[in-house]
Structure 1
Amino acid sequence: MTTVPEAVFDIAVIGAGMAGASIASALSSTHRVLLLEQEDQPGYHATGRSAAVFTAIYGNETVRALSRASREFLAAPPEGFADHALTSPLGNMFVARADQLGRLEAFFARPDIAPLTTWLDASATRRLCPLLAEPYVAASVYEPGALAIDVDALHQGYLRAFRRNGGALVTRSGLEGLDHDEGRWILRTATGAFASAVVVNAAGAWADNVAAMAGSRTGYVKPFRRTAVLVDPPADMEIARWPFVMDIDEDFYFKPDAGALLLSPADETACEPCDAQPDEWDIAVAVDRVCTATTLQVRRIRHSWAGLRTFSRDRLPIAGPDLDLPGFYWLAGQGGYGIQTAPALAQLLAARIRDEDCPEALRAEGIAYADMGTERFHLQPAA
């Protein structure tokens, strides 16, 4: 039986988190765009559970390049994009024990990290964050230009621009079928059927499911759970100016968060796509690791939560066409960097869908279409 679509669009974007909202916003200036979201509201999963930090020295080389290319937008968004600044000063610090100094030195020596950072000895490190225990910290690499991101303002800015351009957002519209017929995609959802010439798979943890529904290869991406905890700070310390602090081996991180301290064990537990919930063991590990590195004493947990960080097989984002399917594009696998790289990835994928050259600002950072697309997986052995 032929499915009759209720509406026809140029492009349908699946998933209205940060990835979907940013690419839908970018494309809506030139195309009629549908944005589908399975939840009651956009941004319920990974977007709404982000650590909300911009750092140009976090992640692999490609992620760092995407972050640098996104900074200008985050620091100075287009007029009318948001009612207030999207970012505020924070600072970021990678710390090391004496036995980790070799790894910290190697990190500091990288050519794209050294210009953005300062090497601090133990005393200087503790002056910036007095919570760190004196016997624990040997040195740190400090990034003064790191920023706190207002994730909700960024997300809502993209959605506002999308609506202003005439885009259609449909929530409570989980995908139930996706078929290619007579040169267009038919999307069957909980709220009806829609048609579009192009589909963008921005479904986050569900991206592999969407690909399977479309008839693509699977196994490009996999979600992993990460835990966060809010606790009371020491009563005798003013924490507002403390930086984001991460262990050089990424065994934990903590940062000030609206008068509380946010702790994480930086866990990475493979799981199925779901409404992620924190595990008691991971909560305990977060507290133990941070308390070991600091003088913090945790007497109660204010709040805990978990989110899903979705990685590709090679830990690089996917932003490009599916080589097996006509008019099917991916925007997935951003890992824990999806908020801070959203402007660059949306700009890159929008240009590729429009059949334009890779934007000069991205090429200047060494970013190429071939690095971001699914073509690279055809040259790699399966995991």
Structure 2
Amino acid sequence: MTYDFLIIGGGIAGLSAAAELAPLGSVLVLEAEEHLAHHASGRSAALYEPRYGLAPVVELSLASEAAFRAMPGMLSDRGLMIVAKADQQAEFARDLKGFGLEQVSVAEARARVPVINPDTVALAAMADHAWDIDTDRLIQSHVKRLRAAGGEVETNARVTGIMRNGAGWHVESGAGAHVGRVLINAAGAWVDDVARMAKVRPLGFTPNRRSMARIPAPGGQDVSRWPMIFGAGESWYAKPDAGALIVSPAEEHPMGPQDAWADDMVLAEGLARYEEMVTEPVTRLLANWAGLRTFAPDRVLVIGRDPAVPNFFWLAGQGGYGFQTSPAAAALVADLLGERPSGLSAGLIASLSPARFG
């Protein structure tokens, strides 16, 4: 069988695009791992904060809000807080402006998060415009829509070879050989590797490790209504998670594509920055892990046909914005491949196009 669309990558990017493309033609998603959303998508902080990122990312995130709101239960209230020391005024001011936050007193911050340390926290700001994304529900909804429209998913299908096949592509994988008219590269940290296999010029993506630790609720408190908390300049963050707290050093450590793991020293340093700003020490870890956030050279997503090989389509460089941009990004994929008008601005589409790299 020749598929209209072969998608390499079964994370949020590939699955959301597949669900949008399935009504337009036959779709096959190839996922290297045993389970979908195994790598970055399965290790996301899963926050919808549409003002987070560079201007094109923000525009794409804002364009995704209506789709999220149309899915009952997909978003739930979380909120956002920034805390800073007295010598972090410059970072705090940038965060205040960038996130659109309102400065509050330390006492007000402590009323919301009682473990904030008044001896070290000198500046605080809050906002309500941040929501948790039910990532499992979102992934499953895309799979359900894809299969309802006749689309297919193969797991344990690591791609081992790609060749041009007339007007299309011949792809070898752990699940066998497949032929497709358009190849969509949604392989996360492996996108440049996939391009090389297809003899398409790679664009210079960089995977960056981000480590996380899950710790017990500080002081045994109910953290369920706490906001997501950032140290100024995104020097660390903490987010409630099923009665516990996820704490990350928020590092960006460049490394090759792989199944990443947390670096113990980096994790310890990040936990120390968190502990400095709260009154409760970290006494033990419940778990730790890491994921790779993959960025293009300009840190903006890449969505569009390759200029030199038009039936090779880039859907890459989601960085830390994959979930929150996914509805608008997937709609754009379908609009571009379906050759129909997009609701996004021409300027935004150009800023996402791989053609910007020459």
**Bin for the TM-score computed over the shorter chain:** over 0.9
Once residues 156 and 170 of structure 1 are traced to their aligned partners in structure 2, the CA distance between those partners, rounded to angstroms, is 15
Tell me the residue number matched to 2:353.
373
- Give the alignment of 1:138-149 within 5 angstroms: 138-149=122-133
Letter of the 1:88 counterpart? S
Q: Is the 2:219–2:280 contact (alpha carbons within 8 Å) kept by the matching residues of 1?
A: no
Q: Kindly indicate whether residue 67 of structure 2 is the aligned counterpart of residue 73 of structure 1.
A: yes
Are residues 43 and 320 of structure 1, via their aligned partners in 2, closer, same or farther at CA, if it must alter by over 3 Å? same
* Corresponding residue to 2:294 among 281, 287, 310: 310
Once residues 133 and 61 of structure 1 are traced to their aligned partners in structure 2, the CA distance between those partners, rounded to angstroms, is 34
Tell me the residue number matched to 1:286.
270
Q: Is the 1:229–1:283 contact (alpha carbons within 8 Å) kept by the matching residues of 2?
A: yes
Q: Is the 2:84–2:92 contact (alpha carbons within 8 Å) kept by the matching residues of 1?
A: yes
- Give the alignment of 1:1-383 within 5 angstroms: 7-77=1-71, 85-109=73-97, 113-114=99-100, 117-235=101-219, 237-359=221-343, 362-363=344-345, 368-378=348-358
Q: Deviations over 1:303-327 (max 9, x none)?
A: 0011111111000011111112130
1:180 Cα offset (Å)? 1.4
Once residues 223 and 17 of structure 1 are traced to their aligned partners in structure 2, the CA distance between those partners, rounded to angstroms, is 15
User: 1:235 aligns to what SS in structure 2?
Assistant: helix
Tell me the residue number matched to 1:3.
none
Give percent identity, aligned residues only.
36
Are residues 15 and 236 of structure 1, via their aligned partners in 2, closer, same or farther at CA, if it must alter by over 3 Å? closer
Letter of the 2:56 counterpart? T
Task: Give RMSD over aligned pairs.
Answer: 1.6
Instruction: Select the structure that is richer in helix.
Output: 2
Once residues 92 and 120 of structure 2 are traced to their aligned partners in structure 1, the CA distance between those partners, rounded to angstroms, is 14
Q: Is the 1:101–1:138 contact (alpha carbons within 8 Å) kept by the matching residues of 2?
A: no
1:372 Cα offset (Å)? 0.4
Q: Is the 2:59–2:348 contact (alpha carbons within 8 Å) kept by the matching residues of 1?
A: no
Once residues 197 and 26 of structure 1 are traced to their aligned partners in structure 2, the CA distance between those partners, rounded to angstroms, is 17
Are residues 248 and 57 of structure 1, via their aligned partners in 2, closer, same or farther at CA, if it must alter by over 3 Å? farther
Once residues 273 and 213 of structure 1 are traced to their aligned partners in structure 2, the CA distance between those partners, rounded to angstroms, is 15
Q: Is the 1:358–1:368 contact (alpha carbons within 8 Å) kept by the matching residues of 2?
A: no
Once residues 229 and 103 of structure 1 are traced to their aligned partners in structure 2, the CA distance between those partners, rounded to angstroms, is 24
Q: Is the 1:14–1:200 contact (alpha carbons within 8 Å) kept by the matching residues of 2?
A: yes
Q: Is the 2:231–2:274 contact (alpha carbons within 8 Å) kept by the matching residues of 1?
A: no
Once residues 204 and 106 of structure 1 are traced to their aligned partners in structure 2, the CA distance between those partners, rounded to angstroms, is 29
Are residues 179 and 258 of structure 1, via their aligned partners in 2, closer, same or farther at CA, if it must alter by over 3 Å? same
Letter of the 2:73 counterpart? A
Runs of 4+ with >6 A deviation: none
1:358 Cα offset (Å)? 2.5
Once residues 367 and 257 of structure 1 are traced to their aligned partners in structure 2, the CA distance between those partners, rounded to angstroms, is 37
Are residues 126 and 349 of structure 1, via their aligned partners in 2, closer, same or farther at CA, if it must alter by over 3 Å? same
1:219 Cα offset (Å)? 4.0
Q: Is the 1:13–1:199 contact (alpha carbons within 8 Å) kept by the matching residues of 2?
A: yes
Tell me the residue number matched to 1:381.
none
Once residues 344 and 156 of structure 1 are traced to their aligned partners in structure 2, the CA distance between those partners, rounded to angstroms, is 18
Q: Is the 1:227–1:283 contact (alpha carbons within 8 Å) kept by the matching residues of 2?
A: yes
User: 2:269 aligns to what SS in structure 1?
Assistant: helix
Once residues 8 and 19 of structure 1 are traced to their aligned partners in structure 2, the CA distance between those partners, rounded to angstroms, is 22
Once residues 88 and 349 of structure 1 are traced to their aligned partners in structure 2, the CA distance between those partners, rounded to angstroms, is 27
User: 1:180 aligns to what SS in structure 2?
Assistant: strand
1:357 Cα offset (Å)? 2.3
Once residues 103 and 263 of structure 2 are traced to their aligned partners in structure 1, the CA distance between those partners, rounded to angstroms, is 36
Q: Is the 1:290–1:296 contact (alpha carbons within 8 Å) kept by the matching residues of 2?
A: no
1:367 Cα offset (Å)? 5.3
1:288 Cα offset (Å)? 0.7
* Number of equivalenced pairs: 358
TM-score norm. by structure 1 comes to: 0.90
Q: Deviations over 1:146-182 (max 9, x none)?
A: 1111111101111110000000111111111111122
TM-score norm. by structure 2 comes to: 0.96
Unaligned segments of structure 1, at least 5 residues: 1-6, 78-83, 379-383
Once residues 104 and 92 of structure 2 are traced to their aligned partners in structure 1, the CA distance between those partners, rounded to angstroms, is 11
Once residues 367 and 129 of structure 1 are traced to their aligned partners in structure 2, the CA distance between those partners, rounded to angstroms, is 41
Q: Which sits farther off after the overlay, 176-185 or 121-130? A: 121-130
Letter of the 1:121 counterpart? S
